[in-house]
A and B are shown apart, each in its own frame.
Chain A
């Protein structure tokens, strides 16, 4: 039997049950290693999420539209949609809001739901997320100020962060 990813003999055999099908994966040592390392052992592989979202998009997106979408940048953390699509990982909590239109169909197809019904923070969650995202934005501005060697601005931003953090406690 040959490896599914390359032509070497398959020595690793992995059984996967995903959604409504059982699949057996057959990899050579090298490809199995890659597969297993990209995975924190009991959850879907992040890269597969990237592939899944690309599939979702292709259905009704032309190459031009996809190219434009790939350039979309979260103003808070600076992640591009392309980066997310490649890695399957988001850059900050704001991405759920910012890329909502693209993410919601993906979330629906993974979970079959878009509403959380489990545990909630005991201290409540009113408006916290907005303020927290503001702190993340300020952290990025501060880093950029330091890079420009604008230490005066950086220290002003640091004070701002400190004040917001205290309010959040």
Chain B
């Protein structure tokens, strides 16, 4: 199976359902693990990397809990295919661009991915649509248990799981939730919200882009520390804060509806208008406009577009997806034209009918 075979699917985190999915895009938990009998990646030679890869591959494929897994050798992929996996968040940018034997194991629903030879020997990642850290953790725990039956990880009784970077030592766990916060950005309250999180050891990261603010108004909240707290406590820290931020965003949305409905309606309508009519458009502009459309759909200002369509467009208008769907490599200029075509087709044809995803790229 080729990784680009996933192109027809949407992937778990863009399904657009799950708790609080009007604001929470996805919940993700990631564990860093290292095989105890090999040096960390920095000091691995080619032989070491190849044996780590084959050891893990064998243990994973032979375990019944992990049977439904596709193994992809990242080192054998074309750049476009690697970029495609990065856009789907199945591998990290670093994993895509490093060198030597490395792979990723992905389950067919794209709920979990297991990066082999990334910054650490193993990165176990589980993603769920919406706010669902509990289910994500259940799955991570099952996978970690299954792997530990056959693999002895580097573990120190005082420091816990040993990782290549001391920032991950202990639990090796990073919990993150991706939030869509357009109303907090529009009402200029976003920084205030972040400041209120100061003391709780959480990191906030905006998606980058052109313009004066984070691209598409998406923000990721994650734990800063990995040592000295149990996995459950680290998850709780994030779980307790997210509903508070959701509450702020809902209040800001209410305010916009009540106090500046015309302005809001104008912004949203211009966004969908541009996307429905443009003949060339960059991925940054697309992200920003889709973000407004997403808000419009959630606030019932746009009726003829489904949330799942918006989510689908976020993914499929990204450079690698666009090229995979077009079936050829495209220059930046050609991509901007192709992207506009794709958007026009999908935002003008989906009127009134439900989007089942069968209208791929005809």
Q: Which residues of A come within 8 Å of B, CB atoms?
A: 11-22, 32, 36-44, 46, 49, 76-79, 83, 87-93, 96, 103, 106-107, 110-123, 125, 128-129, 132-133, 135-136, 139-140, 143, 164-165, 168-169
Pairwise interchain contact B42-A168, C-beta atoms closer than 8 A: no
The contact of A119 among B30, B149, B171, B206, by CB within 8 Å, is: B171
Residues on B with beta carbons closer than 8 Å to the beta carbon of A111: 169-170, 225-228
Q: A13-B213, A88-B165 are in contact. Are A112 and B176 (CB under 8 A)?
A: no
| Distance to closest chain B CB from A11 (angstroms) | 5
Known: A42-B30, A79-B43, A129-B156. Is A37-B231 also a contact (CB below 8 A)?
Answer: no
Task: With a 10 A CB-CB cut-off, give which of B153, B170, B198, B219 has the most chain A CB atoms.
Answer: B170
Given contacts A49-B166, A91-B42, A168-B37, contact A116 B204 (CB under 8 A): no
Q: Give A25 to B198 CA distance when docked, in angstroms.
A: 17
What would be 6 A-B contacts, judged by CB atoms less than 8 Å apart? Answer: A18-B224, A42-B205, A43-B165, A113-B225, A121-B155, A128-B36
- Asked whether A114 lies within 8 Å of B154 as measured between CB atoms, the reply is no
Interface readout for B188-226 with A: 1 if CB under 8 Å, 0 if not?
001100110111011111101111111000011010111
Q: Would you call B94 and A37 a contact (CB within 8 A)?
A: yes
For the A-B complex, the count of residue pairs with Cβ-Cβ distances under 8 Å equals 228
Q: Assess whether B93 is interfacial by the CB under 8 Å rule.
A: yes
Q: Let me know if A37 and B93 touch, CB within 8 A.
A: yes
Check: B21 CB closer than 8 A to any chain A CB.
Answer: no
Which residues of the other chain, A, contact B161 by a CB distance below 8 angstroms?
A: 116, 119
Nearest-Cβ distance from residue B332 to partner chain A, whole angstroms: 13
B154 engages A14 (CB within 8 Å): no
A15 to B164: give the CA distance in the assembly, Å. 26
Interface size bracket, B side: 35 or more
Is B198 touching A93 in the complex (CB atoms < 8 A)? no
Rounded to whole angstroms, the CA-CA distance of A36 and B86 in the bound complex is: 13
B221 to chain A, nearest CB (A): 9
What's the nearest-Cβ distance from chain B to residue A117, in Å? 5
Select one of B153, B174, B229 contacting A117, CB under 8 A: B229
Q: How far is the CB of B92 from chain A (nearest CB, A)?
A: 4
Docked pose: A43 CA to B163 CA in angstroms: 13
With contact pairs A17-B202, A40-B119 given, residues A129 and B154 touching in the complex (Cβ less than 8 Å): yes
B36 contact set on A, CB distance < 8 A: 93, 128-129, 132-133, 168
| Closest partner residue, chain A, to B197 (CB atom) | A17
Chain A residues with CB under 8 A of B227: 107, 110-111, 113-116
Interface presence of B354 (CB below 8 A)? no
Give the docked Cα–Cα distance between A125 and B202 (Å): 31
Q: Known: A120-B155, A121-B148. Is A115-B228 also a contact (CB below 8 A)?
A: yes
Interchain CA distance A47-B285 in the complex, whole Å: 31
The answer, yes or no, to whether B157 is at the interface (CB within 8 Å) is yes
Q: Kindly list chain A residues whose C-beta atoms are within 8 Å of the C-beta of B152.
A: 121, 123, 128, 132, 168-169
**Chain B residues in 8 Å Cβ range of A120:** 155, 157, 160
The closest CB in chain B to the CB of A91 belongs to B43
Cβ of B170 and Cβ of A116 under 8 Å apart?
yes
For the complex with contacts A77-B43, A96-B156, A110-B225, 8 further pairs of A-B residues with Cβ separation under 8 Å are A14-B214, A17-B202, A89-B119, A90-B165, A92-B40, A118-B170, A125-B157, A140-B39
Contact of B220 among A42, A96, A106 (CB under 8 A): A42
Chain B residues 219-275 with CB under 8 Å of chain A are: 219-220, 222, 224-231, 234
Chain B residues near A18 (CB-CB < 8 A): 203, 224
B79 at the interface (CB under 8 A from A): no
Residues from chain A with Cβ under 8 Å of B8 in the complex: none
Measured in the bound complex, the distance between the Cα atoms of B162 and A132 in whole Å is 12
Which single member of A17, A20, A41, A165 contacts B92 (CB below 8 Å)? A41
**Chain A residues closer than 8 Å to B212, beta-carbon distance:** 13
Question: How many Å lie between the Cα of A136 and that of B38 in the bound state?
Answer: 5
The listed residue (A15, A19, A128, A164) touching B219 by CB distance below 8 A is: A15
Asked whether B165 lies within 8 Å of A89 as measured between CB atoms, the reply is yes
Contact of A15 among B45, B205, B230 (CB under 8 A): B205
**How far does the Cβ of A122 sit from chain B's closest Cβ, in whole Å?**
6
Do the beta carbons of B197 and A89 come within 8 Å of each other?
Answer: no
CB distance from A151 to the nearest CB of B (A): 15
In this complex, what residue of B is CB-closest to A97? B156
Chain B residues within 8 Å of A37, by CB = 93-94, 97
Check A121/B153 contact, CB under 8 A, given A113-B227, A143-B45, A165-B37: yes
Q: Is B73 part of the contact surface with A, judged by Cβ < 8 Å? A: no
